[in-house]
Amino acid sequence: MHDLVNEYHIAVPTAFYDNEDLNTEATLQHIRNLYDQGVKSVMVCGTTGEQHSLTLAEKLQLLKSIDAATFLPDDLEIIFGVASIRQKEALQLAEKINASAKINGVLLGFSPYILPSQKEARLYVEAIAKVIEKPIILYNNPRRTGFNPELDTFAELIRLPNIIGIKDAGDSARIPELISVADKKIYVYAGGEIDLDKKIALGANRLSSMAGNLYPSEVEAYFTDLLRGRADKTKNAGIEEKIHNVFADNPIIYIKNEITKHTQIDMGIARSPLGNL
């Protein structure tokens, strides 16, 4: 199993047509555009909040489009998001991802809304991890899912050989505890750029970026400086203002609108009710 080598990836939005149908062409064009700007790692079908609006068929369609996209270079690291209310559907997607030559890793989220027990969630992760021979990042976002793994649960899951770390969008104060209960060195991904300096101070050592969709090189430099202890308040003021603008309202809508405005790529709309006026 190969590791995920990049400290920084961009969580890309999913493009939709005006009728809300999936637009794989624009999604992949945006990924290629990021690569042309120096981005080496992207994550699709994951943290931008659109994952659970996609049906299993749409997720498989997106995966198939990535596999067929000869214009996506071999040295582009692609992480694919897996999460579902139904474990059966998550397993079907995971099996296809495992067979994909283009996908390098998985962001594995817990089931939203249904509030599984700690044991049920652990068995869900174990079942999916069993069919994936690629690196897995656990994704914990209790504000969105309603579920939060206890430290004992995380300690058990991180023992699985293909689980390499966690993206935790919950209480960042838990980061030192997550690191301490792990039986190996782990990657801790900061979810987005809000309070990035504080998350790094607590132990986060990687970034799953949203603002990087618009400012890829600036965000990477900002993250790298923070990670290496070279933060400069004057130098960072510009990118911090841009980050604030991204997250001031709904970041998905803002990012899509800005991509469409400044490139020839029409990312379309968010799926309603997001974007309702």
Unique residue bearing structure tokens 């969709």: 213
Q: What is the DSSP letter of 53?
A: G
Residue 48 annotated as binding site: yes
Catalytic hit among 59, 96, 134, 167: 167
Query: What is the four-CA torsion angle of 81, 21, 38, 105, rounded to 10 degrees?
Result: 20
Catalytic residue among 8, 35, 139, 215: 139
Tokens, residue 216: 């890829």
Closest CA to 255 of 216, 203, 213, 215: 213
Structure tokens at 7: 């400290």
Q: CA of 163: how far to CAs of 125, 132, 182, 215, in Å? A: 10, 10, 11, 29
User: CA-based Rg of the chain, rounded to a whole angstrom?
Assistant: 18
Check if 167 is active-site: yes
Tell me the three state secondary structure of residue 223: helix
d(CA 168, CA 179): 12
Q: Give yes or no: 134 in active site.
A: no
**Contacts by 115-118, CB closer than 8 A, 24 or more apart:** 115/146, 115/147, 116/147, 118/149, 118/150, 118/152, 118/153
Q: How many CB atoms lie within 10 A of CB 6?
A: 18
Q: What whole-number distance in Å separates Cα of residue 225 and Cα of residue 277?
A: 39
* Bind-site residues for pyruvate: 48
* Bind-site residues: 48
User: Looking at the annotation, which residues are catalytic?
Assistant: 139, 167
